[in-house]
Every structure is written in C-alpha cells, then in structure tokens.
C-alpha cells in the first residue's frame, strides 16, 4: 500500500460497550427495589445498588451494613478443620517444630505472617518457608521438603498452596512429616493424603462461603484453634474470635484485596474490620510501608481498599517478583521501627525497579507487536525473549491484553546476563498468559499440551513452561485455536455501570450516602452511573494537560466532572456537543468548601452526535472511493486550509502536544473565511500533508491523529495526486 494512501484505511480500535446492571421497566424487579427501600429506610438509589449486589431483603441489607465479628461463619463447618486443630494442638503440646509453607504473592505472605505470629504467640517452635519464584516456582517441592526435614520440622502447614501437591504429600509422609493443607485454589480430582485438607472448594464442603482468599482460610484455622482454647478455659468462644479479628484482620484484609477476591459476605466483613484496625492501631510494618510510599514529609493517607490495592500490595508483591518474599514477611513480623523502616524502603526500591523493568518489557513487546505480520495480530500474541524477568512478564501480559484486546503469552528463558551462552532448542522458558472473556486460556493450553512441559491456570490467566524449540509450533497451534473461537465482541472493552441517573438525582447528599456501601472491591465495586445527553459547555486542561475538567449542563443544572489520565486534545467531541458520561460520584473538598464532583470513567458523544459523526465518516469514505460532489460541498482543501492545520499542530508540538482528535482539530482550526473545518476536508488535508511529506501523520486510534513535525518544508500543492483526484470528482 503506498504511504500516501495509508489514511484511507481507518484502523480498527477496541470497541467500548457500556452495560447496565439495572434497567427500569421490569415490574417485579422495580417492586422488589421499592420494598427494599421502604423496609430498610433507604433512598431508592441505594436500594437499587443493594439489589444489583445481591441484597433482596431488609434482613440481607441489615447484614450488609452491620459488619460485626459475630457474623463470621463457624470455622468448624470447613471439612477437616477438627482434624487440623487436633494435630496442631498435639504439635504445640509436644513441642514439635512446625513449618509454615506459603506462596510468594501477597496472599501467601500475609498467610505466612498471620500463622507465624499466632503460633509464636502460643510459644510454638515455628519457622516458615516460601519458595523463590524464579529459582523454585510455585508450590510444594521435594527439595524444599528435604530442607525442612533436615531442619527438624515434623509438621508442615501449607497456606495458599498445597491442594494439588499429591506427590509431595506422599514424599513428606515418607520422611516422617505430617501435613496440614490450607488452600483456596480449585481442587483436582485427587487430594493430597494429609492429616487435613482445608479448602472451601472441596466437593461436599459445608462452609457457606466459598470465595475466601488463602489468608482467609488460614484465618479460619486460627479462629478454630482459638475457639478450642476458649472451650478449655471456660471463656466465651465469641470473645476468642473477636480477639483474633482485632489482632489479625488487617493481614487478612491485605491478602484478600491483593488477591482480588470478591468483596462480599464474609470477605467484606473481614475487610471492614481490617480497615478499622489499620485506622485505629496500624501494624508497625504496614504503617512504615505506607509512610515510605507517601514520601518524606508527607502524611500517611487514609487506609482504604484502593490504597491497599494500588499502593501497598504492589510493594509487597515486588519482593517475590524481583527478590524474595521473605523481605515482606519480615516487614509484617518485625516489632522494631528501625527494621520496619529499612524493610519498607527496600520494598519501595524493589517496586521502583519492578516498574522500570515492566516499562522496558512493555515498550519492547509493543514495538515487536507493531512489527508483526497482520495475520499474527489477530489471534493470540505469543512472544519470547531471553532477557525478560520471569517475575514481571505476567503483569506485562495483562497490560498487553488490555491494550490490544487480544490474549497474550509472554515467555522468558531467564538468560539475562548469559549473552555468551549459546541458545538451545532445549532451553525451557516460563510463560505467563492473559486472555479476554470468552476465550478460555486454560482450555487453549490444554489443546497444545503435547508441546508444553507443564501448564495450569484459569480462563483468563495461566502459566506454562515450554522448550524454546517448540515455541514456533505452539504459536501456530494456539493462534489457530483462537481463530476458530474468537469473535469481535470478545475484543471489546466492556464497562459496567449500576444504572442511569437523571441530573436531578446527582447531589452531594447522594455522594455522601454512597460511602455506606464501603468497603469496595470485586463484586462490590464503587457505584458507577450513566448520564445521557448532557451539553458540554467547557473543557479545561488540568495537570499540564494530562487530565481535564468538564463543565456540563443538563435539565437546568450545571455539573462539574474530572477525567483523569485523558488529554483534552484527544476528546472525540467538542464544546457545544451533547455527551454521554459513565462516572462515579465524588466529593471535592477545596479551601473548606465541599462540593459534588463527577469522576469520569468513560465518555462518548451522545446519540445525535454519534449519528452525525457516522454520516460524516460514511461520506468521507464515499469520497475516497471516487464519489462525485458539488462545489457547494466544502471538501476541497485550499492552501490556506493546509497552512492553518499545519500552523496549529506545529505550535502545539512546541508546547509538547503531538496528538489530536478530529473533533479537537475541527474546533481549533478555522477556514479562510472563518468557518469551521468540515470532517472530510480535514481528513483530506491530513492525507495531503502526509503525501507531500510536510509532516508525519499517523492514526493510532480511529479519528485520533499523531503528528511528527519536521522543519518547515516548502512544497508545491499542485504536485499532490490526492488533490488532483479530488478536483476531478467535483461536479462543475
């Protein structure tokens, strides 16, 4: 395809779809919501939100809001809990050495820390073991069991791992070591032969809540043992559980949020108790980590689900990704402020190194994806490299899938620094994959199992090991598998909102009332709403143009919205257009004044504006295909039009702005007679500028243009083939 024709072809961007959890008009649903509002004395909007979160009665709503430790389920409902408590009790009475064996992520780190703190407090001889992510990999291993046995361990308690360790359990038994498994991952057909296997996913398990994190299952073991101690002491069991919550709910909260567990039922209760503990009497290590993340001289922010998920958890995870998870465990175990500060600083430094490595790998992956043949950019993206850090490729795979709307698998051979060692087809690489809803990655890998050393995972995330010599055939096979199953809809970005709201319902009082629904997270997301056809009256840049503030009018009300991470230059609409907003309600506090603020998650032109834009695009494509047009249809660019567009983009480039939407260009650039620049004329201007090499123009997303400005170039407009073709189509 000739370069000058590139702009004829609009790139396919990821479609965005908005879905609503609640739509009015269903008599039965609306009646239930009305009863819930009346019986619970709630605003109707809050009743809607509770309904779509699964609360259908006043009793369920009361449980949702109360959040007391007395609402925790009986831990002895978990299969094998009695056996586990009895074996643990024997180890404590007889002074046996106990080893806690965990995973290297936040869930594993908090599980290990919780059990070690509790058992140490009872006077147990306890140690812990977490494998190295890069050196040993996930789960129990016979080599680790040998080391623990040599160290004198006679009872091993696994946390956040172990449910699939059938062979390793038998090996431990052969060494004379007993095993208690606590885990929350899906159970295979065969369970380990252990003293106890505690997992709410066990077939036939009677526990009422199945989606505990690994640290949640470890917490239930601690609660059960504390209840046993209370029975012996003749004190109320509820007091023992309440004390365990007071001491350890913060650790359970941290692991549950980091492992992206549903914030519902018992998880939501534990998270609420944990956040309360953090706010009132924060654990030393967590406080110092939050302080180090905030920076010198800055206050420690309020502990929330968001703060944990985006600030604390990545720093704890960084230990296991680029160093060793024991650093994070030591942070949570220490009672020395100096040691806590030292470890917190190290975790922040490791996280910064992780971020830098993540950025490097992401840039390299994107560069390679853009160079792939078109046929290899339509299915599963499979890329491998010697230098990528195996602990980071999973994060990058998530970002790649999010960016391109395609499943991605990144494979690392871990040979960084071994430039002189020859690559071998027998080199085994570790891979991390992420998928899109609708394409089950675990099933896709199973279809290629003959090419894999090992694999495992779920629908949307999986891991694998593969020999270098098999990667090419694996790529071909898994892309063929995806091609037979993937649809365009799978690539779309789906954004979910709770319901539409009229402008009159958007009040500061509603925003404050929504705080009653906290803590937020998976399955209890921050409430999100849709407002239709609001008139955009003003767009103001914020943060040097990285963010923006929108002023809107709807039904006689003026509303202020902020859209973080989006530049005004790339808006697909302009002041004077009608827009649809998908947003959260926020409370803005500034100089003692409290006001309502809409926090935009997404925005698009309103239906009438979209219809107009679609007509303009169709007409432009007709003209590109050779359609005739009358002189009154202002599509033929003049030199003044070319100069006006070039002058604008060159001036903006000097200010650091290099990308603009068609809407922004049409708003900013005027024709010689002062009129607006039409869509078709703008598109032809851009094509001609590129054809004549006046400046570089690309279209990374539909109707968003990126410019590369060269020094001033003098060119003869009459040498443009595009311009001559367009003139020949004009009806005279």
CATH code of residue 143: 3.90.1640.30
- 380 with 460, same domain? yes
Whether 127 is covered by a domain: the verdict is yes
* Shared domain check, 393 and 471: yes
Which of 63, 87, 115 is at the close of a domain?
Answer: 63
CA atoms within 13 A on the CB side of 635: 29
The token duo for 165 is: 């360790």
Distance (Å, whole) CA 257 – CA 317: 13
Which tops the pLDDT comparison, 661 or 458? 661
Is the pLDDT at 418 greater than 70? The verdict is no
Among candidate residues 377, 427, 424, 385, the one with its CA nearest the CA of residue 403:
377
Mean pLDDT of 48-59: 93
Residue 2: predicted pLDDT: 32
456 burial via Cβ count (<10 Å: 0-12, 13-18, 19+) = middle
Asked whether residue 672 carries a pLDDT value surpassing 90, the answer given is: no
Helix axes 44-52 and 58-66, enclosed angle (nearest 10): 90
Confirm whether 328 is domain-assigned.
no
Q: For a pLDDT cut of 90, what percent of the chain falls above it? A: 75
Closest CA to 636 of 560, 572, 518, 717: 717
Residue where one domain finishes, among candidates 63, 87, 120: 63
Give pLDDT, residue 185.
Answer: 87
Same domain, 229 and 86: yes
Q: Is pLDDT above 70 for 12?
A: no
Structure tokens at 125: 């001889």
Q: Tokens 């299915």, residue?
A: 379
Answer whether 208's CB lies under 8 Å from 60's CB: no
**Would residue 532 count as lying in a domain?**
yes
Domain final residue, candidates 454, 472, 490: 490
Query: Domain count of the chain?
Result: 5
What CATH code is carried by the domain that includes residue 442?
A: 3.10.310.30
pTM: 0.84
Q: So what's the pLDDT on residue 545? A: 85
pLDDT at 670: 81
Residue 74 tokens, joined: 């009986």
- Do the domain assignments include residue 59? yes
* The predicted structure's pLDDT at residue 189: 87
pLDDT at 5: 38
Q: What is the pLDDT of residue 442?
A: 87
Examine residue 252 and say whether the peptide bond preceding it is cis (omega within 30 degrees of 0).
Answer: no
Quote the tokens at residue 71: 């609402």
* Domain membership flag for residue 181: yes
The answer on 600 and 519 residing in a single domain is yes
In this structure, are 568 and 629 located in the same domain? no
Together in a domain, 505 and 485: no
Segment 553-579 shows an average pLDDT of 92
- Determine, yes or no, domain membership for 275: no
Whether 192 and 79 map to the same domain: the answer is yes
User: Is the pLDDT score of 567 beyond 50?
Assistant: yes
Do residue 592 and residue 635 come from a single domain? no
Q: Which residue has the higher pLDDT, 544 or 137?
A: 544
5 or 117: which carries more pLDDT confidence?
A: 117
Query: Is the Cβ–Cβ distance between 528 and 498 less than 8 Å?
Result: yes
For 14, the 3-state DSSP assignment is coil
Q: Which pLDDT belongs to residue 11?
A: 39
Q: Is the pLDDT of residue 157 over 80?
A: yes
**Residue among 67, 12, 37, 39 at smallest CA distance from 516:** 67
Q: Are residues 110 and 228 in the same domain?
A: yes
Q: What is the pLDDT of residues 272-306, one digit of tens each?
A: 999 999 999 999 999 999 999 999 999 998 999 99
- The pLDDT assigned to 122 comes to 97
Residues 421 and 459 occupy one common structural domain: yes
How many CA atoms are closer than 13 Å to the CA of 377, on its beta-carbon side? 16
Using CB atoms within 10 A of its CB, is residue 597 exposed (0-12), middle (13-18) or buried (19+)? buried
User: Residues 95, 53: one domain?
Assistant: no
Residue 221 has pLDDT above 90, yes or no: yes
* Interval 414-440 mean pLDDT: 80
**Cα dihedral value 104, 108, 113, 114, nearest 10:** 180
Domain of residue 47, residue span: 23-63
Q: Best-predicted range by mean pLDDT among 181-195, 340-354, 687-701?
A: 340-354
Q: Assess if residue 410 is contained within a domain.
A: yes
pLDDT of 7 reads 36
Strand order in the sheet with 178-182: 125-129, 97-102, 155-159, 178-182, 196-198
CATH code (residue 593)? 2.40.50.460
Q: Could you give the strand order of the β-sheet that contains 452-457, starting from the edge strand earlier in sequence? A: 381-385, 408-412, 428-434, 461-467, 452-457
On average, the pLDDT of the chain sits at 91
- Residue 356 lies inside a defined structural domain of this protein: no
* pLDDT tens digits, one per residue of 604-654: 999 999 999 999 999 999 999 999 999 999 999 999 999 999 999 999 988
CA distance 291 to 284: 11
Confidence of residue 6 (pLDDT cuts 50, 70, 90): very low
Asked if 46 and 123 sit in the same domain, the reply is: no
């Amino acid at each position: 395809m000739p370069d000058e024709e590139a702009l004829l072809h609009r790139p396919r961007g990821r479609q965005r779809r908005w879905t609503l959890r609640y739509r009015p008009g269903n008599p039965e649903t609306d009646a239930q919501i009305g009863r819930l509002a009346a019986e619970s004395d709630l605003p109707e909007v809050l009743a809607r939100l509770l309904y779509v979160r699964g609360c259908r009665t006043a009793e369920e709503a009361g449980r949702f809001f109360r959040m007391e430790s007395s609402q925790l389920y009986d831990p002895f409902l978990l299969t094998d809990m009695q056996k586990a408590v009895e074996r643990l009790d024997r180890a404590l009475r007889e002074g046996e050495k106990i080893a806690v064996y965990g995973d290297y992520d936040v869930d594993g780190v908090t599980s290990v820390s919780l059990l070690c703190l509790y058992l140490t407090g009872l006077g147990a001889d306890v140690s812990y073991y977490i494998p190295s992510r890069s050196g040993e990999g996930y789960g129990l291993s016979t080599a680790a069991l040998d080391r623990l046995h040599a160290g004198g361990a006679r009872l091993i308690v696994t946390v956040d791992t172990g449910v699939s360790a059938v062979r390793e359990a038998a090996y431990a038994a052969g060494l004379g070591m007993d095993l208690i498994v606590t885990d929350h991952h899906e159970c295979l057909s065969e369970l380990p032969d252990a003293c106890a296997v505690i997992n709410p996913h066990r077939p036939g398990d009677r526990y009422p809540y199945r989606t505990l994190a690994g640290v949640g299952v470890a917490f239930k073991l601690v609660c059960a043992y504390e209840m046993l101690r209370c029975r012996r002491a003749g004190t109320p069991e509820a007091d023992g559980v309440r004390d365990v919550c007071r001491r350890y709910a913060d650790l359970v909260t941290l692991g549950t949020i980091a492992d992206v567990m549903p914030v519902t039922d018992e998880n939501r209760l534990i998270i609420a108790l944990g956040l309360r503990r953090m706010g009132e009497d924060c654990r030393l290590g967590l406080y110092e980590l939050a302080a180090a993340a905030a920076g010198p001289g800055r206050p420690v922010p309020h502990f929330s689900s968001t703060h944990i998920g985006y600030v604390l958890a990545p720093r704890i995870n960084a230990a296991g990704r680029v160093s060793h998870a024991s650093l994070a465990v030591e942070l949570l175990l220490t009672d020395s402020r100096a040691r806590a500060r030292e470890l917190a600083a190290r975790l922040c430094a490791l996280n910064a190194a992780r971020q830098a490595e993540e950025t490097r790998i992401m840039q390299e992956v994107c560069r390679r994806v853009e160079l792939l043949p078109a046929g290899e950019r339509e299915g599963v993206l499979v890329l491998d490299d010697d230098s990528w850090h195996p602990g980071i490729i999973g994060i990058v795979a998530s970002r790649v899938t999010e960016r391109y709307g395609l499943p991605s698998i990144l494979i690392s051979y871990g040979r960084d620094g071994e430039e002189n060692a020859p690559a071998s087809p027998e080199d085994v690489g570790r891979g991390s994959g992420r998928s899109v809803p609708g394409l089950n990655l675990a099933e896709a890998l199973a279809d290629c199992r003959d090419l894999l050393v090992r694999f495992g995972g779920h629908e949307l995330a999986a891991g694998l090991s593969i020999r270098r010599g098999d990667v090419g055939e694996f790529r071909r096979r898994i892309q063929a598998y995806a091609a037979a199953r993937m649809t365009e809809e799978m690539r779309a970005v789906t954004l979910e909102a709770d319901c539409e709201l009229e402008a009159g319902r958007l009040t500061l009082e509603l925003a404050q009332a929504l705080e009653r629904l906290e803590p937020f997270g998976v399955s209890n997301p921050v409430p999100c709403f849709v407002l239709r056809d609001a008139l955009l009256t003003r767009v103001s840049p914020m943060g040097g143009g990285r963010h923006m503030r929108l002023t809107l009018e709807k039904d006689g009300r003026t509303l202020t919205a902020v859209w973080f991470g989006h530049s005004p230059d790339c808006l697909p609409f302009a002041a004077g257009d009608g827009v649809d907003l998908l947003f959260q309600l926020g409370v803005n506090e500034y100089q003692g004044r409290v006001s309502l603020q809409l926090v935009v998650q997404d925005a698009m032109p309103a239906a009438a504006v979209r219809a107009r834009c679609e007509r303009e695009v169709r007409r432009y494509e007709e003209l590109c295909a050779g359609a005739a047009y009358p002189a009154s249809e202002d599509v033929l660019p003049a030199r003044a039009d070319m100069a006006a567009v070039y002058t604008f983009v060159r001036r903006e480039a000097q200010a650091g702005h290099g990308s603009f939407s068609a809407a922004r260009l049409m708003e900013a650039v005027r024709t010689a007679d002062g009129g607006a620049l039409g869509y078709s004329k703008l598109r032809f201007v851009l094509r001609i500028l590129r054809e004549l090499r006046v400046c570089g123009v690309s279209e990374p997303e539909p109707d968003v243009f990126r410019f590369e400005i060269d020094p001033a170039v003098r060119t003869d407009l009459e040498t443009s083939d595009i311009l001559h073709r367009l003139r020949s189509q004009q009806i005279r």
